[in-house]
Amino acid sequence: MDGNGRWAQRRSLPRTAGHRAAETTVIDIIEAARSAGVEWLSLYAFSTENWNRPGSEVDYLMRLVRRVVRKHAPLLLARGIRCRFLGAADPRIPRGLAQDFADLATLTADSRAMTLTVAFDHGGRRDIVEAARSLIRSGTPAEEVTERLFADHLPFPDTPDVDLVIRTSGEQRISNFMLWQVAYAEWVFPEALWPDFRAPDFHACLHTYRRRDRRFGGVPPQTNGDPS
């Protein structure tokens, strides 16, 4: 969800206006993903590094997120979307917001149409460190640690590997996002700023993804000539 600030700047609006405009996109994309048959959708809303932004902007974001969560809770429930929040462990998160996160997760826990993971106060490295801690605490011998076992100790271990990452506004960085799960992800970098990003743009990204040839480090099945 990149480009809110730039979107606002281009219109000579305060940065906060960009965040507010992002709400429409969020709902639009959730709806587009669900109708396109996407079963796992993750949104990167707030990173552990975002705490470094000016205090007033962080405060504004917290209030905005809280309003958005509460406003759309019934819709998310009705659409059968299971919501959960990745990260969200920092004590700086206002108590009311944390309660709303927990409530929304409880409310939609049994929904199965799509799982929406909102990465809020998320850091990919931190998750890996947490998994390592959890492994050590469980007393697993070093030689027994496998990739599969390690993944079981990550937060929300049922999350599958990420297939496609869409990073808006032309930025081409990973920015500490779900580092473990994006190992074999395809990346798309549309130029649109997040508040301008809409369902057709999302479908275009899906289309690009479908044309990609995912090899997972292997060789393409039909090669010209003998690979040996």
Partner 1 sequence: MTTGTTTAADETPLSGTESQFSAFFDDPRWALAMIRATVLEAAHPQIGAALVDNSTFVAHPWRRLRNTFLSMRRMFDADPAVREREAARLNRLHARMSGSDSRGRAYDAMDRGARAWVVATLFESAVTMCRLSGQPLDQDTMERMYAEYRVFLAALDGDAGGLPEDLNDFWRYFDRVVEDELENTEAARVILYRLFDHLPAPALLAGAPTLWAAGRAVVGPLLGAITVASLPEPYRRRAGLPEMPGAPTLMQGAYLAAGLTRFLPEGWINAETIIEALSLSPDSDDPRARTVAALRARMKRASALLRLLTPLGDGTVPDPVPATSRGTGEGRRSAEDFFRQVLDQTGDGHLDWPDLAAMARELATRLDLDEPEETRLYDAFAAWWRELQATLDTDGDGRVSADEYAAAVPTLAGPALIRVAEVLFDATDKDGSGTIDADEHRTLFRTAFQRDLTTTHGTYGRSAFVGDFLSFMSGRRPNTPYDPLLADA
Tokens of 57: 């902007």
Q: Which residues contact 174 (CB under 8 A, 6 or more apart)?
A: 124, 182
Which position among 2, 100, 127, 201 bears the catalytic label? 2
For residue 127, the tally of other CB atoms under 10 A from its CB is 22
> Which of 37, 54, 55, 91 contacts partner 1 by CB under 8 A?
91
Residue type, position 11, single letter: R
CB of 106: closest distance to partner 1 in angstroms? 4
Cα–Cα distance for residue pair 74/70, rounded to 1 Å: 8
Binding mask 29-68 for partner 1 (x = CB under 8 A): ----------------------------------x--xx-
Closer to partner 1 at the Cβ: 33 or 93?
93
Number of residues that bind partner 1 (CB under 8 A): 26
CB of 124: closest distance to partner 1 in angstroms? 19
Beta pairing partners, 186: 164
Contacts of partner 1 in 116-175 (CB under 8 A): none
> Which of 35, 56, 99, 138 contacts partner 1 by CB under 8 A?
99
Please say if 50 is a catalytic residue.
Answer: yes
Helix (H/G/I), strand (E/B), else coil: 85: strand
Please say if 2 is a catalytic residue.
Answer: yes
CB of 94: closest distance to partner 1 in angstroms? 5
Q: Are 123 and 48 in contact (CB under 8 A)?
A: yes
End-to-end CA distance of the chain: 44
CB of 1: closest distance to partner 1 in angstroms? 22
Cα–Cα distance for residue pair 105/96, rounded to 1 Å: 14
Closer to partner 1 at the Cβ: 25 or 108?
108
CA distances from 226 to 219, 221, 222 (A): 12, 11, 10
Give me the active site residues, please.
Answer: 2, 50
Binding site for partner 1 (CB under 8 A): 63, 66-67, 69-70, 73-74, 77, 89-96, 98-100, 102-104, 106-107, 109-110
